[in-house]
A and B are shown apart, each in its own frame.
Chain A
Amino acid sequence: MRVRSVRTRLSTVAVSATLLLSVAACGDSGGDSGPVELRFSWWGNNDRAQATQKVIDAFQAQNPDIKVSGSSADFNAYFDKLATEVAAGDAPDVITLGGAYPREYGDRGALLDLARVQNELRTDKIDAAALGNGRFEEKQYGVPTGVNTFAVVVNPAVFQKAGVPLPDDSTWTWDDFARIARDISAKSPKGTYGAADPSSADMLDLYSRQRGEGLYTPDGKVAISRNTITEWWTTTVGLRDSGATPPASVTTELEGQPAPEQTLMGRGLAGMQFDWSNQLGSLRKASGQPLELLRAPGESTQKPGMWLQASQIYTVNARTEHPKEAAKFVDFLVNSAEAGKIILTDRGIPANSEVLSAVLPGLNPDQSAQAKFIEKVTPQVGPPLVIGPTGSTDTRLILQRLNAEVLFDRKSPAEAADEFVKQVEAAIGK
Chain B
Amino acid sequence: MSDRTGSRTARSGPRRRETRVAYGFLTPWIVGMVVFTIGPILASLYLSFTDYTLLSPPEWLGLENYQRMLEDSRLHKSLLVTVQYVFVSVPLQLALALGLAMLLNRGVRGLPIYRSVYYLPSLLAGSVSIAILWRQIFGSEGLVNQLLAKVGVEGVSWVSHPDYALGTLVVLNAWTFGAPMVIFLAGLRQIPSMYYEAASVDGAGAVSQFFRITIPLLTPIIFFNLILQMIGAFQSFTQAFVVSGGSGGPADSTLLYTLYLYERGFGSFEMGYASALAWTLLVIIAVLTGLNFLFAKRWVFYGD
Please count the residue pairs between chain A and chain B whose beta carbons lie under 8 angstroms apart in the complex. Answer: 119
Contact of A8 with B160 in the complex, beta carbons under 8 Å? no
* Interface presence of B268 (CB below 8 A): yes
Tell me which residues across on chain B come within 8 A of A247, comparing CB atoms.
Answer: 156
Q: Which of A322-366 contact B (CB under 8 A)?
A: none
Q: Which residue in B14, B55, B244 is a CB contact (below 8 Å) of A109?
A: B55
Contact check, A257 vs B269: say whether CB atoms are below 8 A apart. no
Residue-wise interface mask of A (8-27) relative to B, using a CB-CB cutoff of 8 A (1 in contact, 0 not): 10111011011000100000
**How far in angstroms is the closest Cβ of chain A from B239?**
14
Kindly list chain B residues whose C-beta atoms are within 8 Å of the C-beta of A400.
247, 249
B140 touches A (CB below 8 Å): yes
Give a binary string over B241-280; 1 marks a CB under 8 Å from any A CB, 0 the rest: 0001111011110000000000001111111000000000
Expressed in whole angstroms, the Cα–Cα distance for A17 and B27 within the complex equals 10
When each residue 393-410 of chain A gets 1 if its CB lies under 8 Å from chain B and 0 otherwise, what string results? 010010011001100101
Q: Report yes or no: B24 in contact with A404, Cβ–Cβ below 8 A.
A: no
**1/0 per residue B12-33: CB within 8 Å of A?**
0010011011111101100100
A32 at the interface (CB under 8 A from B): no
> Do most interface residues of chain A lie in helix, strand or loop, or is the interface mixed?
helix
Q: Which residues of B contact A12 (CB under 8 A)?
A: 24
- C-alpha gap A15/B23 in the complex (Å): 9
Residues of A within 8 A of B252 (CB): 401
Instruction: Please tell me if the beta carbons of A252 and B160 are within 8 angstroms of each other in the complex.
Output: yes
- Partner of B247 from the list A17, A249, A256, A405 (CB cut-off 8 Å) is A256
CB pair A257 B160 closer than 8 Å: no
Q: Tell whether B139 is near chain A: CB-to-CB under 8 Å.
A: yes
Q: Chain A: which residue is nearest B267 at the CB level?
A: A83
What A residues does B54 contact at CB under 8 A? 86-87, 108
Q: How many residues from A make CB contacts under 8 Å with B? A: 42
A110 in the interface, Cβ–Cβ < 8 Å?
yes
Residues of chain A contacted by B159 (CB below 8 angstroms): 253
- Is A18's CB under 8 angstroms from B31's CB? yes
| Cβ contact of B21, chosen from A7, A80, A257, cutoff 8 A | A7
Q: How far is the CA of A329 from the CA of B21 in the complex (A)?
A: 53
Q: Is residue B146 contacting chain A, with contact meaning CB distance below 8 A?
A: no
Given the complex, which residues of B lie within 8 Å of A427, measured CB to CB? 268
**Nearest chain B CB to A73's CB is how many angstroms away?**
12
Closest B residue, CB atoms, query A8: B21
Tell me, yes or no, whether B162 is within 8 Å of chain A by CB.
yes
CA distance A7 to B21 in the complex (A): 7
Does A255 sit at the interface, judged by CB under 8 A?
Answer: yes
Name the interface residues of A181-227: CB closer than 8 Å to any CB of B.
Answer: none
If A83-B267, A250-B157 touch, does A14 touch B31 (CB 8 Å cutoff)? no
Tell me which residues across on chain B come within 8 A of A250, comparing CB atoms.
140, 157, 160
Which residue of chain A lies nearest to B135 when distances are taken between CB atoms in the complex? A256
CB of A2 within 8 A of chain B? no
Chain B residues contacting A18 (CB-CB under 8 Å) are 27-28, 31
Partner among A252, A257, A394, A410 whose Cβ is within 8 Å of the Cβ of B249: A252
A residues 252-307 in Cβ contact with B at 8 Å: 252-253, 255-257
Given that A86-B55, A249-B157 are known contacts, is A404 also in contact with B269, CB under 8 Å in the complex? no
Q: How many angstroms between the C-alpha atoms of A194 and B157 in the bound complex? A: 20
Q: Does B44 contact A (CB under 8 A)?
A: no
- Other than A11-B21, A12-B24, give 4 A-B pairs with Cβ distance below 8 A: A14-B24, A18-B27, A252-B162, A253-B160
